[in-house]
Structure 1
Amino acid sequence: MRGIIFSIFLLFAFITLFSQNIHVIDSLKKVCSTYEPDTNKINLFNKLSWAYGKKLDTALMYSDSALSLSNKLNFRPKIQETHFKKGLLYYNHAKYSKALSNLFMSLRIAEELKLIDNQSQSAFQIANVYKDQGTYDKALSFYNQSLELDKKYNNRNGEASCLNNIGLVHWMQDSYEVALDYFLKSMAIKEQLGDKKGIAGGYVNIGIIYYSIKNYDKAIEYWEKSQVICEELHDDRAIVEVLNNLGAVYSERKDYEKALVYLYKSLKIKEKIGDRKAISMTYSNIGEVFMMKKDPKNALEYFNKAIKINEEIQDFDGLASANLSIAGYFKEMKDYEKALEFANNGLETCKKIGALSKLKSAYLMVSEIYELKADNANALANYKLFYEISDSIYDKNNSDKLAEVQTKYETENKEKEIELLNKDKVLQDNELARQQILTIAFIICSIFILIIAFVIFNRYKLKKKTNDELTYQNLVIEQQKEELTVQKDLLINTNYDLTKKNLLITDSINYAKRIQDALFPTESYISNYIKEYFIYLSPKAIVSGDFYWFYAVDTNNLFVAVADCTGHGVPGAFMSMIGNTLLNEIIVENREYDTSTILEKLNSRILHVISQNDEGELSHIDGMDITIIKIDVLNSSLFIAGANQSAYIVSDNQLITIDGDLHSIGGGLRYNVNAKFATQQIPYIKDSTNIYLLSDGFQDQFGGSENKKFMVSNLQKVLLKCSTLDSFDEQKKYFADTFNNWKGSKKQIDDVLIFGFKV
């Protein structure tokens, strides 16, 4: 189930939403054509850029025109203003690297010109970019810089906005107490200023804090306060968001009737506004609530309404989401054919619009549905497509970010070159004027004045030389600073990409664990034939190279096996899946019940599997150690065969060790596909004999005060102790506690598996 979409209230202080009014644009264009190239024309270019804000390419064309004219006139305040507005354009279109480049330029020029209010605005907006990127430490640093400037020059409205957004960052970092403190400080200023809209927004954010700590009563209290103010201000769009949040909290409290009341109110306002896309989203939310109410008929009705609107307005993105939502509904209802139909509809729509992120989710859902249908081939095929899409998204984002860094570097260098050319021209003009004055003075004045002029000229040259050297050094330092900034941003982006890649790999391994767990025999199946047993499995990584196997031919003939595959983690898990599959083939399908013959066939087939490389060579390390027991219940006999692994039998407080053959299964025997294994027949006393099969991970674990291996001798003592405990649940706990206490804080070196049972 997808869940209700949740709304928060953010303050952006210096940002206003840009709207595209064709009449305003036409009038600005007409006026612009009549203006001379001066500051008024710069202002018009900036206004046109903002009016075209939704069309980034056109907006940037006018912004570049404003910047070019500002540089031509060498008017630094307008250069600063244009960089700031250009940064906002990039920010509103999520081009964060280019936004930061322009905003940092805006901040430096504002500091140079001592424009305090502009410094605060630039620092505040830089903080907003870092917040959206998830770089919270930098965001807090620049919010605090803006806050100090606002405090120093008594900008109370800006101070309130900074406090609010600092609280927001702390909320994103789950520091709810700190976040609440900042929200309350911001609210106090808004109340002093009589800013009702700001007060309403503050109530929303304080409610979010209480919602996050699951104090739903307090959250409702503050959101209802916000609702009253929004209704007084007739701010329908703000009312919609508050109603949506109230619906979410009542849904969380399982008060679905109240949740529906608020969602229906939200729907009514959206219908009044005429926002069909928002109406479609609300239909989906209402459908989700009906799903939670176990009312599938009404849920499906609202999901279909959402699809209908999305089809009418050709909102293919919303259509894809709605189809996937209905697929999730049918999956919950266990109608897998219907679920597959809608999932495939959503998948095809995602392909059509090129929405890679949704396409990835669609492949994953199709894979999960096929898995539930036990169609493992299609489940695996779609999961591979999901994984390939994940990789392609990563590669695309990675190349885009590198291109952005390169563009930023080239743009800043070009701006520096233009600035240097303008400075050289000013210096040349000043030099020419001074030479003219000296010439006139030479004609009018006496030789004495000429000597004084000569001295002054020489001093001027010395001063100019010194100034030129200082200017050059400053340029070198500035360039080095810019290069360091670019390198830092590149490192941040690279770290983010690596973290994202690691999450994708971890998700894939977790999915592999689900597949591996599904291959293990269920406890309910085992307990039908063995009443008293325990299984203790502690993988070194997420997935395990150790596995256990159980099969009942009938109530009198049972098979139990424990295997320790080469390696651990993903390689070991793959080998465990091969071993599991081959045991099913040999015993279940081919009905081979002799334990020594089973191991010989398992050895031969694993050697065949692991030799399937391009050269036809056999790996000498891939394989497994295994013990398999056939339990003849009718005759109270055990038939045990082992490959480089021992079994332990405890009867009448006596421990018997059954050693297996010295060979391993697979690569340990190298090319000896005809290796022979022996079966040992052991009689047992019914209901008083405990059997323990285990891998070598427990005895090989380093730990204790001297950081030594646990060793087989200590393991045998533990087995004897466990056999005296009242239940097998207590035995499992004793094994787990002993292992964890021995290991302590040291790293686990191998997978650990113990299968203990009574016959």
Structure 2
Amino acid sequence: MLKRLLFIYLFILTFSKNHAQFLDKKFYLVDSIEKKESNKNDFIIIEQNLKLFKSTTSDTLKLNLLNEIIENCNDESIWPKYNSLMYRMAINLASKEQNTYLKNKFLSKKAQGLNNYGYFIQNYTGKPNGSLKFYKDAAKIQEDINDKTNLIITNNNIANFLYNGGKILEAIEIYHKTIKLQEEIKDVNGLTPLLNNLGEVYLFLGDTSKAYFYIKRALSTAIQSGDKRIIAQEFQNIGILSKNSGQMDYAFTCLKKALALREQIGDIAGMCKSKINLAVLYIIINNHTLAKQYLTEVEPLVQKTDNLAVKQTYHAALAQLYQSQNQPKEAVKEFEKVLQISQQIGAVQDEVKYGSIILNLYKNLDEPEKELKLFRRLSSLSKKLNSAEVRRNALRRDYEYEYSKKEQDYKIEQALKDEKAKEEKRKQKFITLGISFILLLTLIFSFFIFKAFRSSKQKNIIISEQKKEVENQKHLIEEKQKEIVDSINYAKRIQDILLTNEDIITKNLPDHFIYFKPKDIVSGDFYWAHSVLTETENLFFLAVCDSTGHGVPGAFMSLLNTNFLNEAINEKHIYEPNKVFNYVRTRLINSISKDDQKDGFDGIIICIDKLKNKTTYSASNNSPILVTQQKTLTKLSCDKMPVGKGEREQEFNLYSIEYQKGDSLYLYTDGYADQFGGPGADPSKGLFAGGKKFKYKPLNDLLISISDVPLNKQADILNHKFQDWKGLLEQVDDVCVVGLKL
């Protein structure tokens, strides 16, 4: 009867749009499917597999190809039709086949079809109770033919159904039983959804640590399998866990990774969930504009999908948005939709969760009749859930009781043995030594106790004095540390003053940006600018440099370097960039490189001659990057030697920049490209564990992609990308990037 209902549902679904342009059944094998922009990735999979389907004579391969379509197709109006085709073929082939091996192959596909029917009914029809019969029929076949791989999937769906229906203990029992079955056959693909669902169960039970343990294991197995759909789901779950524990930055990182993966594979339902969860994060941090933007983006997709879980998540997020904007009536309307969908899909936990929120809203809106009706409904459901909780606690107490009872029995038994042994020893002493020897031992023992007491007293006095001394030293260290930090902060103020005032740069280069991010309080990276205006000269100099080291040593070097740059131009009147670098190198070598110290800096200095409309530069180890308006990138020349003592001390070259008005020029140090991070970085395993460098090519590609964005916004994009890449890892070096329009 349920199968007939499903076919009727599909028939109505298929023919409800009279204007649709349906595809040829002769090739596509099923009726009334429509190719749209949203399912173009699905049709790539469908057409590839159907070509193979029509070219083969193997019935087993044909069923496998249909199964490939079902498993990889996202459009819920299409894959159930191919499931019906696979199910009918499997029944027909199994009824005729005499060979046991082939018959079991066909029966396996029949069971998969039943399992898929159950999944469709549970998630798309609003009548989830009908799915359990399909699941159990599938499991019966899989047990009979010993198809453990697919039995794992079916059992997972059964446990998920029981969990949604509030039968939590039964669900946990099946999950653990199925994990043991998976361990027998070592099927990584089957393990991932089991671990994921078990994690979600423990999350509902409030055991966050155990939920994180299972979901993190699920992510690990998903990555091993390479299934992007499942990897995205696990990143989403970790993002939700991070949100619940207040780790908002990490939650954003995980949810954005999930969204990117789902966009790659065209998972419409998954993209909706990711964007909705991101909207919820923005609601929590009171960024209602971005939250509304995400919800507006997914609204048309939500209206088209038949996936009730997606609809439920969307309306819940919209209700939270209204609630945070103090619009209780609109919030109630959306929460009532959530409650209705929760009832349709049999999600008892969600019904209790959202029903409790609506109950408070009814109370605030003074709607006593609705409040009373909902209260009675929630009371009934809470008893159902609480009974499961009582059973869970009782089960735990039974285990604790059995353990404590065995432990107590062991202690009593051991105590009796010890007592018996002591008694035997005592008797032996009385017999062999006698009373006099015992008295002698007592006197000697008393002497040593007294001596130990005196020694212990003296030691306590010494320890007390040492403790006071340690506390005094600790206090002194804390004071010194405060003085050092205050000194470094004061040094930062000095460095900020000595760094070129951005007003000077803005006056000479109206269209520019500076992205400056020191690793520590003070920086070895620096930017410097100077203008020369005489009767014969109108020059503007700009330098971006990376001094040796970072932190306090790097800051001292940067102050020394800027002083020598100013000296070259102001006092020595050197106006060619290469000669400026030559002069500064000589001053550095004479000043600080007497003991073969190789201190100095790498950097770029450009000179814009406004009278001659000409731009020249000199570069030490770092190359300027020129990006044209046509988005072509040129890495300009540089000299492979430092400004300071090095293996090469030749004269620096003077270079000219050929450009068109409107081209972009970027000057940067190595800190951005050398930053560790990216997917897989785990700060708990060490400073760079699991991470990799950002590198220069991705940085240059990023500069190309943003070159047409207004320069005042490019720094924000660079910062966002840097933080997203770095994640929770430490910054490894100072960062300085300067961009300007020529």
TM class by shorter chain equals 0.3 to 0.5
Q: Give the alignment's TM-score, normalised by structure 2.
A: 0.38
Q: Give the alignment's TM-score, normalised by structure 1.
A: 0.37
